[in-house]
Amino acid sequence: MAQDPLFRLPEREVTDPRLFLRRREFIGGALALGAAASLPSLARAEAEPTRTPLNARAGAFSTDEPSTDYADATTYNNFYELGTGKGDPVRNAAALRTKPWTLTIEGEVARRGRFDLDDILKPHPLEERIYRLRCVEAWSMVIPWVGFPLGDLLRRFEPTSKARYVAFETLLDPEHLPGQRRSLLDWPYREGLRIDEAMHPLTILAVGMYASTLPNQNGAPLRLVVPWKYGFKSIKSIVRIRLTEQRPATSWNLSAPREYGFYANVNPAVDHPRWSQKRERRIGEFRKRQTLPFNGYADAVAGLYAGLDLRENH
């Protein structure tokens, strides 16, 4: 399977200089270093997408760290269905059709079926949770997500005793999703969690961010957010959830098994084959910071992996 050329870039070429130069406190130092001349640029959206307000209560587990600017969080994205460049998703976002939208629930559950998303959402009060999310290329953001616990949804469909994993699929629509016309991955995009990871109260299905509906480039209308795992455990535009007895295949593990394991826990002690995991650059900051085990959520989730070798099961 062909590798995404983005992932062949050295780390210094992955982070967009716009995210530093636009900050007054870093302009002088960045210009002195000639960052603008040495790093690739990223086109900003000409206009901010329409933001429909969402009513959401304050959720538990939120960090008190400052949130990433909305403009940065919605214009610097990984969403390979809309392109491999960080600026491709916002440029191609209008291609994604989000209405009507259905979600299929199947597999090891007592209640199966295909449901309109609006009907899925009705019983679930929305919460706003401010989560750190670290991406595989050693950059991170802090996002106020709006959503509800995935576990609350799964319990509605009564998982059987054989349900050990939860598999997710994104929309397959190469006519409107230009990235799916390339053989970068075996489409549709697939992701998976262990059932206890999926039922953990930190794990949510997000329908919005910054108190507004999700922009298309951020995974509208429904995406997964697992804050202690790397960014590629953030499947977007979900159309299918299947509970299984066997561990499901996941897109990046199929594409590059030596580099991307099933678990994807943030473990700074284990280097990616092509870059270190020890430090990360928060979008909007100039200096790197130390990466924390489980992305800083170790107190809440480390017990899920007691006895599991997190070097081998990366």
Q: What is the pLDDT of residue 136?
A: 83
Distance CA 117, CA 260 (A): 31
Report DSSP letters for 88-123, one per residue: HHHHHGGG---SS-EEEEEESBSS-EEEEHHHHHTT
Cβ pair 304, 197 in contact under 8 A: yes
Distance CA 199, CA 208 (A): 20
* Encoded tokens for 170: 């994104």
Alpha helices (H) along the chain: 18-21, 24-33, 35-38, 70-73, 88-92, 117-121, 150-156, 195-199, 251-255, 298-301
Distance CA 117, CA 100 (A): 8
**What are the beta bridge partners of residue 237?**
none
Name the CATH code of domain 5-305 (choices 3.10.129.10, 2.60.40.1930, 3.90.420.10, 3.40.50.2300): 3.90.420.10
pTM score, whole prediction: 0.85
User: What is the mean pLDDT of each successive set of 10 residues along the chain, which is 314 residues long?
Assistant: 35 38 36 32 48 93 95 95 96 95 98 96 96 91 98 98 98 96 96 98 98 97 96 95 98 91 92 88 93 96 95 83
Cβ pair 148, 222 in contact under 8 A: no
Distance CA 285, CA 149 (A): 30
Buried b (16+ CB within 10 A) or exposed e, 235-268: bbbbbbbbbbeeebebbbbebeeeebbbbbbbbb
SS3 236: coil
Domain extents in the chain: 5-305
Tell me whether strands 238-244 and 165-170 are parallel, antiparallel or unpaired: antiparallel
Q: What is the pLDDT of residue 232?
A: 83
Cβ pair 91, 178 in contact under 8 A: no
Distance CA 74, CA 149 (A): 23
Distance CA 299, CA 43 (A): 39
**What are the beta bridge partners of residue 130?**
144
Q: What is the pLDDT of residue 83?
A: 96
